[in-house]
Amino acid sequence: MSHYASLFVEGPEQFLALAAVAVVWLGFTALGAGIGGRERMREVDHLVGWALVSFVFTVPGVFLGVPFTVLAMVSGVAAIASGAWVLRRDKDLLAPGLVRMLVLGVPLLVLASAMKASQWDEFTDWLVIPRYLLETDAFPSRENPFSKASLAGYPYNWHFITYLVSRISGGLVESAGALFNVLLWFGFGLLTLRLIFTGIGRHPEGELIGWRMAALAILAGTLINPTFAQKIVLTAYAETASAVAAGSAAVLAWFVLEALRRGEFDRAQRLALSLGLILALLTNLKQATLVLVALVVLAALFVAIRDRGVPLWRFVRLLPAIVGPAAVIYMTWRYHLSGEVSVREMSLRPLDGWYIELIPQILGKMLLVLSKKGYYLALGLILVGFGVRGFFKSATPFDRFAALAAMVFLGYNAFLLFAYVASFGKPDALRAASYWRYNMHMGGLIIAFAAYGGAVLWHERLAHRWSLRRIAWLPMALVIAAPLVFAGKLRFDLDPMTMHFRAVGAEVAKQVNVEDRVFNADPTGSGESSAALTYEIGERAHYVGQLSAFHRDPLKYFRNAIAKPTMSVIVVHSTAEGFEAAVDLKLEPGQSHMLKRTENGGWRLVKSWPQPYKN
């Protein structure tokens, strides 16, 4: 029983993390509510406020070099002032139903607050960069290089979350990303409720979100979300943020078009401002999300051109508000990269180097990947079918939403195919590397289409036949029970070997100094032990390389590495034939070892750690 309880509660520090995330979320919400006005869409206040904070950090941080601590304080003061003004104006701050969602989501939120870093990219980028931000209080630059981060030139909007939460908490909070991801899906769940109410012909603004509907909103982003993967959502990865921002942008773009069609031009302008800020947020989340921004704007434009009921000239007049913020933040970051940060980015090969002849094979692999995600693929095919029909018919709001969503969905997958053909290396192209992970960016869009389409179908065809009252209790039961039942599966970060790698790395970090040069040897491993080691030692020593199962002739590689006189520390997690002779030591199997160079050039065993199970 104590082991089960520890899956949720490991120590008081996780409740500090919960409180810090709540403060950041409320701050974003207050800023978004302040700029949005009384008739705003409250479900996206946190995204709008996040975008505003991103501008506060990015523009002065790039052009003026203002310390991040100062920018965080400015953002905090602005959020408090905005929140007080909104409470006085509207008498409340949070979107209807959110408090009930938070109460129902307590088990999942508490579990997420206990999560620790466990994934490769967390060790090499998504947590390393926020740690640099905390230590240096500035973006990477020629004077402030982020030496241990693999993707220092990536956009920084997602890193601001962990930075702000950690700054409030007083130290790096590894669970900040997981907690914020859960809240992002909760917020998007409320947006799907708006779509459901719209689909059944009820005005969303007048609806009371009770416990059952709050539970349904949680389910929309979790159990019935085809792209919910615990090793993505409950980590510091930016995939959830990308999916939520892209889905929210597509929904807002559709609401702008519908407002224009009804002649509600003031509402269209307010929505366009929110849309523009969310697109700016999306632009600066990941390198590939700029494509999503372009696709949302182009899809909305094509729908406006196709549907004569939308005054095209009015939509065109809104384009500066829609694309302007994204253009500003994109150009600001590109300016910084061009002068201050040397980064390697994905680039196109010359035309004669494109894998055009491999397109059938690449497409086949892409389809194979999606065929293993049957639920997602089925919804995607339904979306495309209704989208094609909707574009040519364009008779109802559902037609226009399906057309817009389908264009984004097809356009993004076409872009991924293009990237495999023109940019990726041949092995990665042939295996469609990370294709499912990229498709997770479509998760919000797919959920929004399913929610609105399902509501329309229910209202028009099924409502008079079936009553949902008999199963109205089911969403609440699932929301409460799921985290309790699947707690062991959700706590994937407690994998014994991952915990072992981190524990060894932490011990090594205590025994090295800045002059040491550390090498990681794990010839039967994937390289995870190396990623964990680099994360744990940080700047305490120089990490100079690794040996994993991907290296040929491990003994030769090992001998060449340790022959360098500057190499002072070796961490060994597994061995190959000849390793013991190379260091003239007995290395017991099933253990990890730390070796240190002696004064005469040999090696001595400093410490060994039993592994959870043998290699």
Task: Give the mean model confidence (pLDDT) for residues 16-30.
Answer: 97
Angle between helices 13-36 and 176-199 (to 10 degrees): 40
**Binning pLDDT at 50, 70 and 90, where does residue 30 land?**
very high
pTM of the model: 0.95
- 57: phi then psi, degrees, rounded to nearest 5: -80, -40
Tell me if 114 sits within 8 A of 92, measured CB to CB: no
pLDDT tens digit sequence for 287-331 = 889 999 999 999 999 999 999 899 999 999 999 999 999 999 999
Structure-token match 């997958």, residue found: 413
pLDDT tens digit sequence for 526-582 = 999 999 999 999 989 999 999 999 988 999 999 999 999 899 999 999 999 999 999
User: How far is residue 28's CA from residue 238's CA, in Å, rounded to a whole number?
Assistant: 18
pLDDT at 283 over 70: yes
Task: Give the mean model confidence (pLDDT) for residues 225-249.
Answer: 96
**Binning pLDDT at 50, 70 and 90, where does residue 464 land?**
low
pLDDT at 473 over 80: no
Q: Which of 3-7, 87-91, 334-338 has the lowest mean pLDDT?
A: 3-7
pLDDT tens digit sequence for 515-527 = 999 999 999 999 9
Encoded tokens for 181: 């991801």
Encoded tokens for 11: 């120590």
Q: Which pLDDT value is given to residue 598?
A: 93
pLDDT at 392 over 80: yes
433-448 as b/e: b if 16+ CB within 10 A = eebbebbbbbbbbbbb
pLDDT at 272 over 50: yes
**Binning pLDDT at 50, 70 and 90, where does residue 175 land?**
very high
- SS3 string, 422-452, reads HCCCHHHHHCCCCHHHHHHHHHHHHHHHHHH
User: How far is residue 220's CA from residue 449's CA, in Å, rounded to a whole number?
Assistant: 12
Average pLDDT value for the chain: 93
Coil, helix or strand for 150?
coil
Domain boundaries in the chain?
A: 2-352+449-489, 495-610
CB-based contacts of 399, cutoff 8 Å, min separation 6? 386, 389, 390, 391, 393
Task: Give the mean model confidence (pLDDT) for residues 7-29.
Answer: 95
Bigger pLDDT: 137 vs 146 = 137
pLDDT at 400 over 60: yes
CA dihedral 253→255→258→263, nearest 10 degrees, is: -100
Which fold would CATH assign to domain 495-610? Rossmann fold (3.40.50)
Share of the chain above pLDDT 90, in %: 81
Q: Which pLDDT value is given to residue 615?
A: 43
